[in-house]
Amino acid sequence: MSSRTEPGGEQVFDGLGVAPGIAIGPAHVVEPGMARVPEYPIPRTRIDAELVRFAAAVADSSEQIRRLQRKAGDLSGAAGEELGYLLQAYQQMLSGSRLIRGVETHIRERAINAEAAVNAEVRHIGRDFAAMTDPYIAARMADIRDVGARLIRNLRAAGTGDTIGELPSGAVLIADELSPADTAAIDPAQVGGFATVFGGPESHTAIMARSLGLPAVLGVAGLINRVRAGQTVIVDGGQGRVVIDPSPATVAAYEARQAALRVEQRGLQRLRKLPAETRDGTRITLQANVELPSELAMARRVGAEGIGLLRSEFAFMNRDTLPSENEQLAALSALVQGMDGQPVTIRTLDVGGEKLAHALDEHFADTANPALGLRAIRLSLQQRPLFETQLAAILRVGATAPVRILLPMVTSVSEVRQARAAVTRVARRLKRRGVAIADPLPPVGVMIETPAAALAADGLAFESDFFSIGTNDLTMYTLAIDRSNEQVAHLYDPLHPAVLRLIQFATEAALRARIDVALCGEMAGDQRYTALLLGMGLRELSMAATSLPRIKRRIRNMRLEAAVRCTQAIMQQPDPARVSALLDEFNKG
């Protein structure tokens, strides 16, 4: 990634263009480290002020816990009692405990910001506790982390008043990093686009940017120190370029490109009612990936034939408590009803890795390899009430519209069996309560997104009603490349023969077993790959709704027969660079 200053004074930065489109607007610099815990020195003269800021976060946390205590008081039985004890312990930790005293000492003696001081003290206590193996102590450590996370959230929420909520219209966000939860909080009507220092091409932040139609460039080294609030910034998400203080000629050139994109969009809209059919008559089903309810309108506007991947994490993000069955039901119903009877594939909770829900923080804090840890179906099978509450909401919404259940990050048949048993158990319980549920029970499918699942696809196909191939994680786990790390982004390559062979093997296993197979990773929404995916036998693709019209246009311009020939040639190739060249040649021709 590079940067340079042009003679007129404009600064040009190159990064990873992750969501196409052009935004031109005033810079809004988001507090550094919204998502990471930043550590920065503070002047000695500001130490007292920092202690006051920390005290305010302690007071806010204490008030929030008092509110939770009042709610817990309404719960009856052992669960209410246990929660009561836990909250009381939290309350004690907020008044003069080692945690609070330790944070104050870090601020005073090391002159660092309060967020970093909380982080440092939690780690410090963790090191002391690590020496003890007592399970009671281990549980206390989780509580301390929980209180620490709450303090940091409150410090950030109070912040400098510089939050994503209050913005000039068309603002371009500039940040160290935006988490998926931060991105979910962006109002696309208010924000033009964004650029960040950290973040990889298939991170969930990138995926959300594409879904929201927000031009975005990630992995822009040195950006944050070079831009001031209010300076004009151009974000070119197609080229992966950020221009600060552009010259009038540069602005004019980008405005012309914006106008050309608008003309192209209008042309694409005319495809809405036309089928996604190749020139030699093969019909392809195109569905939308949805991660936020606000994307529903776009899915309908582009004529998606259902939601192929509903990432249910949205119902768990940006909140401190877990959503109840009824809350989840309400959230799912709004989406499912909005699709007017089109099928909706609801993926069960996929948190862990880079996708975090604060209410579940205690399960994840300080894991060395979160992507290999307690993520997705692993968490669901371990936290049964969490899983069964979600399944209950899905089964209930299934009474009103066609839904399917999709299990994330499966690696073995035993996970599918356990999940199916949970579905049956929850269904029985709901029926006993006289609650209407899907009848027959919804199909249960598996994400093929680990090499294990792909290689065991023939066995999994016997246990599953359908497959959905998640190439984002499949690429990450196969190549051992973190999809959200900009430092290795150049090595992230879904065209690597290892990845292609896994996709092909899983697709063929599904076709042999006569179960449905779709592909819902980001490859589905990139027209460069369309011929290859159809050539491998895929007939269902699910993608960001904003990508769907271009994929439909590509399919309508393509002969399947030629795509199959190109795919056969590609699958002989051991060299990813040659694969890429063959594909580009085909796409040009």
Query: Which of the residues are catalytic?
Result: 204, 520
Binders of ligand PEP among residues 288 to 317 (CB under 6 A) are 309, 311
Q: Using CB under 5 A, which of the segments 12-20, 189-197, 443-451, 484-492 binds Mg ion?
A: 443-451
> How does DSSP assign 334-398, residue by residue?
HHHHHTTT--EEEEPP--BTTB--GGGGGGTTT-S-GGGSS-HHHHHHHSHHHHHHHHHHHHHHT
| The one among 308, 398, 470, 525 contacting ligand PEP by CB under 6 A | 470
Q: What is the CA radius of gyration of the chain?
A: 25
Residue 473 touches ligand PEP, criterion: CB under 6 A: yes
Q: Using CB under 6 A, which of the segments 118-126, 255-263, 465-473, 576-584 binds ligand PEP?
A: 465-473
Which partner from the list ligand PEP, Mg ion, none does 471 bind, CB cut-off 5 to 8 Å by kind?
A: ligand PEP
| The one among 14, 305, 449, 516 contacting ligand PEP by CB under 6 A | 449
Residue 3, exposed/middle/buried by CB under 10 A (0-12, 13-18, 19+)?
A: middle
Q: Which is nearer to ligand PEP, 271 or 296 (CB)?
A: 296
Residue 465 touches ligand PEP, criterion: CB under 6 A: no
CA distance 285 to 518: 9
Least distance CB 521 / ligand PEP (angstroms): 3
Q: Which is nearer to Mg ion, 204 or 241 (CB)?
A: 204
Q: Show Cβ contacts of residue 561 under 8 Å, excluding neighbours closer than 6 positions.
A: 280
CA distance 202 to 218: 10
Q: Show Cβ contacts of residue 426 under 8 Å, excluding neighbours closer than 6 positions.
A: 388, 391, 392, 395
**Residue nearest Mg ion, CB atom distance:** 473
Least distance CB 313 / ligand PEP (angstroms): 8
| Nearest CA-CA partner of 24 in 207, 183, 248 | 248
Which partner from the list Mg ion, ligand PEP, none does 547 bind, CB cut-off 5 to 8 Å by kind?
A: none
Residue 308 touches Mg ion, criterion: CB under 5 A: no
The secondary structure element, H or E, covering residue 437 is: none
- How close are the terminal C-alpha atoms of the chain, in Å? 31
Residue 203 touches ligand PEP, criterion: CB under 6 A: no
Peptide bond connecting 293 to the previous residue in cis, omega within 30 degrees of 0: no
| The one among 180, 193, 443, 470 contacting Mg ion by CB under 5 A | 470
In degrees, rounded to 5, the angle at the alpha carbon of residue 378 between the alpha carbons of residues 367 and 405 is: 135
Residue 350 touches ligand PEP, criterion: CB under 6 A: yes
CA distance 499 to 518: 16
Q: Using CB under 6 A, which of the segments 54-62, 66-74, 248-256, 471-479 binds ligand PEP?
A: 471-479
Q: Using CB under 5 A, which of the segments 3-11, 79-87, 361-369, 465-473 binds Mg ion?
A: 465-473
CA distance 250 to 261: 17
Question: 459 by DSSP, 3-state: which?
Answer: helix
CA distance 516 to 315: 27
Residue 554 touches ligand PEP, criterion: CB under 6 A: no
| The one among 473, 482, 516, 522 contacting Mg ion by CB under 5 A | 473
Residue 520 touches ligand PEP, criterion: CB under 6 A: yes
Residue 201 touches ligand PEP, criterion: CB under 6 A: no
Residue 540 touches ligand PEP, criterion: CB under 6 A: no
Which partner from the list Mg ion, ligand PEP, none does 346 bind, CB cut-off 5 to 8 Å by kind?
A: none
Binding residues for ligand PEP, rule: CB under 6 A, are 207, 309, 311, 350, 449, 470-473, 520-521
Binding residues for Mg ion, rule: CB under 5 A, are 449, 470, 473
